[in-house]
Amino acid sequence: MVFSTLPFVYFFFPVCLILYFAMPNIRAKNAVLLIMSLIFYAWGEPVWVLLMILTALVNYACGRGIGAAVSEGQRKFWFVLSVAASLGSLAFFKYTGFLIENLNLIPGVDIPAWELSLPIGISFYTFQSLSYTIDVYRGNTAVQKSYADFLLYVCLFPQLIAGPIVRYVDVAAEINVRKTSLQDFTKGITRFLTGLGKKLLLANYCGGLIEKYMEGGSVVGSWVGLIMFAFQIYFDFSGYSDMAIGLGRMFGFHFKENFNYPYCCDSITDFWRRWHISLSSFFRDYVYIPLGGNRCSKAKNIRNILIVWGLTGLWHGASWNFILWGLYFGVLLLLEKFVFRKLIEKLPGFFRHAGALFFVLIGWALFYFEDISALGAFLGQLFGNAAVFCTPDVLKLLMNNCLLIAACILVSTPVGRMLHTVNVRMRRKRGAAMHFAALGTLTYDSVLLAVCTAVMVSSTYNPFLYFRF
């Protein structure tokens, strides 16, 4: 099931809310959330829901084993078992076909192709389960004694299939002790609808135009198509994160932010502080720092960065273009850190920003094309190796979609955050200002819901890019 559909917005979620708030205590509320989360996942994955339950069970048992261990050797055994089982399952389902495909390139090797359907959200719930056992092993969180509570954490439907990656330590206290205030609930509604609007009104429309530009065979069309893909993947994923955060807040959970206007960055380092923050911080805390981070020799620091970014690329998909994409950003970060840092700091802000966006866009080309030969041809088009510089069809498309592009640019900036800050300040005042701000929020929510509903009724194009991860 996807958030941006009529069955979710007008059936599943209202039923879940009614049942949840009808329950007399937190245990009953948790039971409702757990059952509804399993139904939510089984709606699209009736078989693989068992894999998710098993993954949670293994990591729960390993956590209990770590907590009950009487020696360091026993603690390590349970910890290694958790890591091996979780990553082994992820590797089996996500990378078996890729491995066989590459082994068959060796002369004399002919392994029958083995296609496995990828369980939705496996990368997300695997990392979340692992964050628990790692933190238990490190002593950063207490052992969870209830399997039902741990399973609820793993399969909580707001963040189940596409993140953000919610660490157990960040929500452990809220599993059994939380309240939903009216203020939290209304903020959750607005946040959910904002994400729904990003997804339906921006990401989907950008996605529908990408191939029309890219297949035009012109330099301008190639660049505009690439920019549209950059907007699509940002609003697709950040919109989903907004919806997840909003839904969580309505149930009393406070998930951390996952995006912070990444296209406002002034360097590649800054971009990755703003983009998919939960994934970046996961690799930083659980891979980069344990490898030695930057508290080691320069050679080892370079090694650590390349390992992390190679894994980041591989996490996104079983294809060489994703590995290339990850290493591309790893190399850029190394160049920023060790070669061009002082030069970049001296540049005016505009040039830093433009330079960062240029390299981010090239990175999205690597991300988009899984076929390396198609990638090479497209990069050639970007830099002049195209039939024409621009075509009448591309110009017509640009004219017809100038408002969409302007809206994408505007929403990529902190304008919305500034308006929200003004609204919050007005609502803290008494009198007309408070009522005007409340009316503004109600109008915003109502109009956005009405427009999104109309789009859901009329549109058949509703992909979600991060399902495949």
Active site residues: 316
Residue in this structure with the two tokens 């979600």, named with its chain if needed:
464
**Where in 303-411 does DSSP place strands (E)?**
none
Please name the helix (run of DSSP H) or strand (run of DSSP E) that holds residue 330, with its range, or none.
helix 320-338
DSSP 3-state of 218: strand
Q: How far apart are CA 48 and CA 31, in angstroms?
A: 21
First to last CA, the chain: 16
Distance of CA 316 to the CA centre of its chain: 10
Cβ–Cβ under 8 Å, residues 251 and 20: yes
Q: How far apart are CA 84 and CA 195, in angstroms?
A: 36
Cβ–Cβ under 8 Å, residues 280 and 290: no
Q: How far apart are CA 26 and CA 409, in angstroms?
A: 43
Q: How far apart are CA 344 and CA 280, in angstroms?
A: 22
Q: How far apart are CA 245 and CA 190, in angstroms?
A: 11
Cβ–Cβ under 8 Å, residues 274 and 259: yes
Cβ–Cβ under 8 Å, residues 257 and 245: yes
Query: Rg of the chain's alpha carbons, rounded to an integer?
Result: 23
Whether residue 164 has a cis bond before it, omega within 30° of 0: yes
Q: How far apart are CA 317 and CA 367, in angstroms?
A: 10
Query: Which tokens is 56 given?
Result: 């949670």
Q: How far apart are CA 47 and CA 53, in angstroms?
A: 11
Q: How far apart are CA 229 and CA 239, in angstroms?
A: 15
Q: What separation in angstroms does the CA of 3 have from each of 35, 185, 193, 241, 462?
A: 17, 17, 10, 11, 11
Alpha helices, H only, 23-105: 26-44, 49-68, 72-103
